[in-house]
Amino acid sequence: MNPMHEQRLRLDPALRRLRRETRLDASKLLWPLFISETAREAEPIAAMPGVFRHPLARAGELAREAARLGLGGVLLFGIPARKDDAGSGAWDPEGVIPVATSRMREAAPDLLVIADVCLCEYTSHGHCAPLDGHRELSRQGALESYARAAIAYARAGCQIVAPSGRFDGQVAAIRDALDGAGFPRTAILSYAVKQASVFYGPFRDAAGGAPAFGDRRSHQLDPANAEEALAVAARDAAEGADLLMVKPGLSALDLVYRAKGAFPSLPLAVYQVSGEYAMIARAADAGAFPRRGAVRESFLAFARAGADLIITYFAAEAAREGWLEGE
Which parts of this chain interact with ligand PBG (CB under 6 A)? Answer: 116, 118, 120, 128, 164-165, 200, 203-204, 216, 273-274
Q: Which is nearer to ligand PBG, 204 or 235 (CB)?
A: 204
Give least dist CB 182 to ligand PBG, A: 27
Smallest separation, CB 256 to ligand PBG (Å): 16
Distances, alpha carbon 274 to alpha carbons 14, 30, 250, 256, 267, in Å: 35, 14, 12, 18, 22
Between 125 and 326, whose beta carbon lies closer to ligand PBG? Answer: 125
User: Is the Cβ of residue 108 or residue 236 nearer to ligand PBG in the bound state?
Assistant: 236
The single-letter code of the amino acid at 196 is A
Query: Maximum Cα–Cα distance for the chain, whole Å?
Result: 74
Complex with ligand PBG: residue 183 or 271, whichever CB lies closer: 271
Pairing, β 29-36 against β 73-79: parallel
The nearest distance, CB 120 to ligand PBG, in angstroms, is 5
**Do 90 and 165 meet the contact criterion of CB atoms below 8 Å apart?**
no
Give the C-alpha separation, 242 to 227, whole Å. Answer: 21
Least distance CB 20 / ligand PBG (angstroms): 29
State yes or no: is 83 an active-site residue: no
Other CB atoms within 10 Å distance of the CB of residue 184: 11
Instruction: Provide the sign of the torsion angle of the four alpha carbons 298, 28, 269, 96, taken in this order.
Output: positive
Report the residue number, 190 or 274, with the smaller CB distance to ligand PBG. 274
DSSP string, 189-256: EEEEEEB--GGGHHHHHHHT---SSS-STTTSBPTT-SHHHHHHHHHHHHTT-SEEEEESSGGGHHHH
What is the Cα 56 distance to its own chain's centre?
19
Shortest Å distance, C-beta 97 to ligand PBG: 13
d(CA 172, CA 241): 8
For ligand PBG, the closer of residues 112 and 120 by Cβ is 120
User: Considering the complex, what minimum distance in angstroms separates the CB of residue 17 from ligand PBG?
Assistant: 32
47, 91 contact by CB (below 8 A): no
Residue 117 makes CB contacts below 8 A (sequence gap 6+) with: 90, 146, 149, 150, 153, 161, 162, 163, 164, 165, 174
Q: Confirm whether 28 is a catalytic residue.
A: no
- Could you give the residue numbers annotated as active site? 194, 247
